[in-house]
């Protein structure tokens, strides 16, 4: 009986270890991501996010030529959240990361909109 219990414990620990290695690490977010927002006017449908490390901290920007810094950026276990603010209001982003894809929503005073971002290949 003890042998069966011991084998089950080894299997359980192995499964947890494999799952832990599949968790998204913060460095997987670094780079440039092209995003697409659904159900918004054409001029707001696409753009770029850039995530990088600065002074041992993860920072991010929205835009490619005029970069706007992300506020309250958090990257934890595959969940990425941040906010931006401009003359049109506050925009809150919430994503789940799966490999090179971020899928989530952007919330604003205009409503909630689906958003998807794909990581660009390194140049």
- pLDDT range class, residue 41, cuts 50, 70, 90: confident
Q: Residue 67 — pLDDT band, cuts 50, 70, 90?
A: confident
More confident residue, 15 or 44: 44
Give domain limits for the chain: 25-119
Buried-exposed string 2-19: b where 16+ CB fall within 10 A, e elsewhere? eeeeeeeeeeeeeeeeee
Strand ranges, E, within the chain: 31-37, 46-54, 57-62, 68-69, 71-76, 79-86, 89-98, 101-108, 111-119
Model pLDDT for residues 75-114, shown as the tens digit of each residue: 988 899 999 998 888 999 999 999 899 999 999 998 999 9
As a whole number of angstroms, the distance between CA 118 and CA 99 comes to: 9
CATH number of the 25-119 domain: 2.40.128.20
């Amino acid at each position: 009986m003890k042998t069966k219990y011991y084998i089950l414990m080894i299997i359980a620990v192995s499964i947890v270890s494999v799952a832990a290695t599949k968790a998204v690490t913060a460095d997987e977010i670094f780079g440039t991501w092209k995003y697409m927002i659904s159900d918004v006017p054409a001029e707001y449908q696409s753009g770029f996010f850039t995530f990088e490390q600065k002074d041992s901290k993860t920072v991010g920007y929205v835009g490619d030529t005029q970069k706007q810094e992300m506020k309250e950026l958090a990257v934890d276990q595959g969940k990425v959240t941040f906010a931006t603010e401009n003359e049109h209001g506050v925009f809150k982003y919430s994503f789940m990361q799966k490999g090179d894809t971020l899928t989530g929503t952007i919330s604003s005073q205009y409503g909630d909109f689906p958003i998807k971002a794909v990581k660009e290949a390194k140049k």
